Amino acid sequence: MSHVSEGILHAYLDGALDELPGGEADSVRDHLARCTQCSIQLGEAGAVRDEAIAILGGILPPLDMPPLEDLRSRAAAVRVEPTGTSGRLYRMGWAASVVLAVGAGWMLRGGEVIPLGMMDPIEVPSARRALLQSLTEELAGLEATADDEDLVAAAISATTSSDVVAQAPLDRVREDVERAASPVQETMTDATPRTGLREMTAETPAVFRQFVDSAESGVDQAGLPAAEVLPEPLGVSGSQLVAIAPAAERDAAASVLRAEGRRPDVVTSARKATADLSLVPSNHSDEEDPDRHVGDAPPFVISGLELIDMSWISEGVTAGGVRVLQELEDGEILELLHLPEGVDPDDLDPFPEDGRAGVITPRDGGWLIMRANRTVEELQALLERLDGAA
């Protein structure tokens, strides 16, 4: 085998070789036993590792462990009750997600103005209706200041009239309510990368426009920096929409494709997908970048899964990347984002805490980010499926 990489050397030193995929642990051990060059590098890696241990070990905090029973008593007594400004912000964040989801749903339907009440009306079960009612009361109970009254009123209005919310599974809605009420959860500050979808027209709903305007002006409705309450509007709205109503996003994305004369298709190969969907942006010419043309198949579309959408990212730190949405066998959405070479994933905002797991892995000189409502292990299995196809 070839020489052992620095990462594998550290895994060897950490006793983690057997955790690595690929089953190469034994061959790595054999190689290290025979290769002088790798042995030297192993020694150097060991010195770096020891130094890091010494640095971090030099500041051990004193330990004071209260009896476990004390914590049990607290657990039994404590009721989750957000208080003060932070609690309000979390709930405001939830309210923002509802409005943004509605707004994004509107946009994904191709800009067509569809009254909320006409969006796939369904019978709302009484239990869900009760939950929505309690949610409405929760929102109404916010300590609205003069500055955020409009925001709360808009959120209440959106909540009570939105079939997007009504279509979500009852458990999912309940999770959203609990998330809004739990101090451990984030506000809407963790935005997914911008996708270049951020466009508004004169017909954009006023409520959605209000959020976008306030976020862009840097000051939110409550007078706090927008970054503390409001997300990047479309980045988060996309993920929140998936969290609240995956079917709505899928249908909306499909309608956009149909409106453009394309149709959602089952992908039989990445090359076919690329050719079918004309990935090249309209302002692109092969002369400018001969490496990117229609014939180049992106190696990150999973064969056999329905392709919902594929788009170039034209702005933001991920510009030049590609975003792919595919439908998993059970209808959940799989989001694949390929960042081109030169983009540092550390420049991205953290994953939003929307219940979806994500994995990042080096791919083709750049990075591949994969996210879905799956466990990390299941995502890794999907990654292997991708690798198998390649």
State which of positions 26-45 bind other proteins (CB under 8 A).
45
- In whole angstroms, give the CA distance from residue 124 to residue 274: 40
x/- track of binding to other proteins for residues 152-191 (CB under 8 A) = -------------------------------xxxx-----
- In whole angstroms, give the CA distance from residue 4 to residue 45: 12
Q: Does 7 bind other proteins (CB under 8 A)?
A: yes
Among 23, 62, 295, 342, binds other proteins (CB under 8 A): 62
- In whole angstroms, give the CA distance from residue 110 to residue 257: 9
189-223 burial: b if 16+ Cβ within 10 Å, else e = bbbbbbbbbbebeeebbebbbbbbebbeeeebbbe
Among 1, 2, 19, 330, binds other proteins (CB under 8 A): 19
Element at 323 (helix H, strand E): strand 322-327
Q: Does 345 bind other proteins (CB under 8 A)?
A: yes
**CA–centroid distance for 262 within its chain:** 26
Q: Which stretch binds other proteins (CB under 8 A): 7-15, 139-147, 269-277, 281-289?
A: 7-15
Q: Does 146 bind other proteins (CB under 8 A)?
A: no
Q: Which stretch binds other proteins (CB under 8 A): 2-10, 96-104, 159-167, 268-276?
A: 2-10
- In whole angstroms, give the CA distance from residue 86 to residue 182: 10
- In whole angstroms, give the CA distance from residue 188 to residue 204: 21
Q: Does 63 bind other proteins (CB under 8 A)?
A: yes
Q: Does 86 bind other proteins (CB under 8 A)?
A: yes
138 versus 353: smaller Cβ distance to other proteins: 353
Quick one: which of 235, 229, 225, 218 has its CA closest to 92? 229
Q: Does 74 bind other proteins (CB under 8 A)?
A: yes
Give the three-class secondary structure for 337.
Answer: strand
What single string gives the DSSP state of each residue in 56-71? HHTTPPP-----HHHH
Residues whose CB is less than 8 angstroms from the CB of residue 284 and which lie 6 or more positions away in sequence, other chains included: 292
State which of positions 350-369 bind other proteins (CB under 8 A).
350-351, 353, 357-362
State which of positions 193-232 bind other proteins (CB under 8 A).
228
State which of positions 308-337 bind other proteins (CB under 8 A).
none
> Contact at 8 Å (CB) between 167 and 128?
no
Q: Does 59 bind other proteins (CB under 8 A)?
A: yes
Q: Does 376 bind other proteins (CB under 8 A)?
A: yes
For binding to other proteins (CB under 8 A), which residues are involved? 5-11, 14, 16, 19-22, 45, 48-49, 51-53, 55-56, 58-66, 68, 71-72, 74-75, 78, 86, 183-186, 228, 344-346, 350-351, 353, 357-362, 376-377, 380, 383
